[in-house]
Amino acid sequence: MCIRDRIGLTAARRAVTVTPGTAPAPVTGPVYVATFNPAPNIAVGDETPWGVGAELERLLPGTETGSFTGAGAGDEALKAAAGRRVVAVVRDEHRHPWMGTALDTLLAAGPDTVVVEMGVPQSPPRGALHIATHGAARVCGVAAAEAVAGSGLAEAQG
């Protein structure tokens, strides 16, 4: 990893905000990462990678991922998760009502759901654990995945 990447990752780790929910349970094994993808816009496009799926697959072997969008996304994610603990990843939830509905569905079905809010957080924290990244760059996803897996929690909280 080059010095610029290390600096970026250090900054991303410091920017992460971890808010425990009412019943936080540590993530100790493989999870299902449900990424709720808004339609790409001209500024971001669909070529810019974001999220925590790849990094959680590395940190928590056996983790699986899926991408969901639009009405019914929460039900689709629940079906794909097939009873596994869910890490729900959102970006710009405040701009996409369907995304909030999907999170409501996941949280009602699994109170142990972890919510990762990438980008600039606009919604109140919710979930068994809520992680706000304050950005959506690759290093933000790495820092969030570390917080989910517990390996970066000390750095994230200062």
The C-alpha atoms of residue 30 and residue 107 are separated, in whole angstroms, by: 18
Q: pLDDT by residue (tens digit) across 60-86?
A: 999 999 999 999 999 999 999 999 999
Of the listed ranges 9-23, 44-58, 119-133, the one predicted with least confidence: 44-58
At 76, which CATH number?
3.40.50.1700
Q: What is the pTM of this model?
A: 0.88
> pLDDT class for 154, splitting at 50, 70, 90?
very low
Q: pLDDT by residue (tens digit) across 124-136?
A: 999 999 999 999 8
Contacts of 96 (CB under 8 A, 6+ apart): 36, 38
Q: Is the per-residue pLDDT at 35 higher than 60?
A: yes
> pLDDT class for 3, splitting at 50, 70, 90?
confident
Of the listed ranges 13-27, 52-66, 89-103, the one predicted with least confidence: 13-27
Q: What percent of the chain has pLDDT over 90?
A: 65
As a residue count, the chain comes to 158
Residue 155 has a pLDDT of: 39
Q: Is the per-residue pLDDT at 42 higher than 90?
A: no
Total number of domains constituting the chain: 1
Look over the chain and give the mean of its residue pLDDT values, rounded to a whole number.
87
Residue type, 156: A
Beta strands in the chain (DSSP E): 17-20, 32-36, 64-68, 86-91, 114-118, 129-132
Q: Is 146 left (phi over 0), alpha (psi -120 to 50) or beta?
A: alpha
Give the range of the structural domain holding residue 22, as residue numbers without chain letter: 3-156
The C-alpha atoms of residue 85 and residue 27 are separated, in whole angstroms, by: 9
